[in-house]
Amino acid sequence: MKIAIIGNSTPLRNYSKEIDTYDLVIRFSKLNFINSNLIGKKTDRIYINTNDNFIENLNFIPPQNKEFYKNAEVFLRIWDEKNTKQICENLEITKYKILEEKGTIDLITKKYGWPKVDGYFTSTGLMALVNILEEFPDTEIHTFCFNYNGDFGEFEFEPEFEFLLFLEYHKKIKIIS
């Protein structure tokens, strides 16, 4: 089984044909980029952060990108019930699972040997990646558009990018872009 994880950063080239061949295609919250035709159409699972930042971007998701949510298994990281309701109504999500932090930092520190960063708060992307690694431990996982040059506000992504490089070095994932 091969898994493609599609992040929120701008695609470096057209990956559509390649991504759509994977057995499982996983995407993240912000589908507000215009060039969605560069990252394929297949979507089996999507992780959404229900914070205020996502709510602010909700109206900027192009209508064609809402198709990504239609038949996918949805995981929500819930911050606010009001936001969750608004997101589900806007994107026509009727069923979802809850993504919980459940000691993500401790897990990647103990199981994967990544040095702990004091006071560090994990992104939804990192929580989802660890969730995927745990659910599919012996699977080939490739990441696309999964780096820290996207539009993420004040969040510090350098430790997470270092963790991606760490996982690639230990052959747990392969970074495509």
Q: Assign residue 8 the CATH number of its domain.
A: 3.90.1480.20
Residue 59 — very low, low, confident or very high, per pLDDT cuts 50/70/90? low
pLDDT-derived band of residue 47, with 50, 70 and 90 as boundaries?
Answer: confident
Eight-state DSSP code of residue 43: -
- Mean pLDDT, the chain, integer: 77
Distance, CA of 11 to CA of 87 (rounded, Å):
25
Tokens of 41: 């159409």
In this predicted structure, what is the pLDDT of residue 49?
A: 78
Q: Taking residues 69-84, what's their average pLDDT?
A: 79
Number of domains in the chain: 1
pLDDT at 155: 46
| Nearest residue to 24 via CA among 72, 66, 64, 70 | 72
Cβ distance 19 to 144 under 8 Å?
A: yes
Q: Kindly report, residue by residue over 152-176, the tens digit of the pLDDT.
A: 444 456 777 777 888 888 888 888 8
* DSSP assignment string, 91-137: HT----EE---TTHHHHHHHTT-PPP-TT----HHHHHHHHHHHHST
Per-residue pLDDT of 122-156, as tens digits, reads 777 778 888 888 889 889 999 888 665 544 444 45
Domain carrying residue 67: 2-175
